[in-house]
A and B are shown apart, each in its own frame.
Chain A
Amino acid sequence: MDFKNKSIISLRDLTKEEVEFILQKSDEVKSDKHPDALKDKVMASLFFEPSTRTRLSFESAMISLGGKVFGFATQDSSSVSKGETLKDTIKMVTGYCDVIIMRHPLEGASRAAQEVSSVPIINCGDGSNQHPTQALLDLFTIKDKFKKIDGLNIGLYGDLRYGRTVHSLSMALSHYKVNLYFISPKILQMPDHYKLYLNQCGLKYFEAESLEEVADKLDVIYVTRIQKERFADPEEFVKVAGSYKITLNTLGMLKKSAKIMHPLPRVNEIDTSVDNTEHAIYFEQAHNGIPVRQALLGLVTGGIR
Chain B
Amino acid sequence: MNDRPYKVFKIDNGTVIDHISSRMALKIIDILKVQEQGIISIGINFNSKKIDKKDIIKIENVYLDKKETDLIALLSPNSTINIVKDGIVIEKRKIDMPKEIEGIIKCPNPMCVTNTYHDCSTKFIVVRYDEASTILRCYYCERETPVLPMLIQ
Contact = CB atoms under 8 A, between A and B. Distances in A.
B140 A85 contact: no
Interface size class of B (residues with CB under 8 A): 10 to 19
Given A85-B119, A112-B120, A107 B144 contact: no
Contact of A108 (B118, B138, B144): B138
B111 A112 contact: no
B120 A107 contact: no
Interface residues of A, number: 19
B89 interface: no
Q: Specify the main secondary structure of chain B where it touches its partner.
A: loop
A279 interface: no
Interface in A176-194: 193
B112 interface: yes
Contacts of A104: 113
A109 interface: yes
B111 A128 contact: yes
Contacts of A126: 113, 141
A130 B113 CA distance: 13
17 contacts: A10-B142, A12-B142, A85-B119, A87-B119, A106-B111, A106-B116, A106-B141, A107-B111, A107-B112, A108-B114, A108-B120, A108-B139, A111-B140, A112-B114, A112-B140, A127-B141, A129-B142
Given A106-B111, A112-B117, A126-B141, 14 more contacts: A87-B117, A87-B120, A106-B141, A107-B111, A107-B140, A108-B112, A108-B113, A108-B120, A109-B113, A112-B140, A129-B141, A129-B142, A129-B143, A130-B142
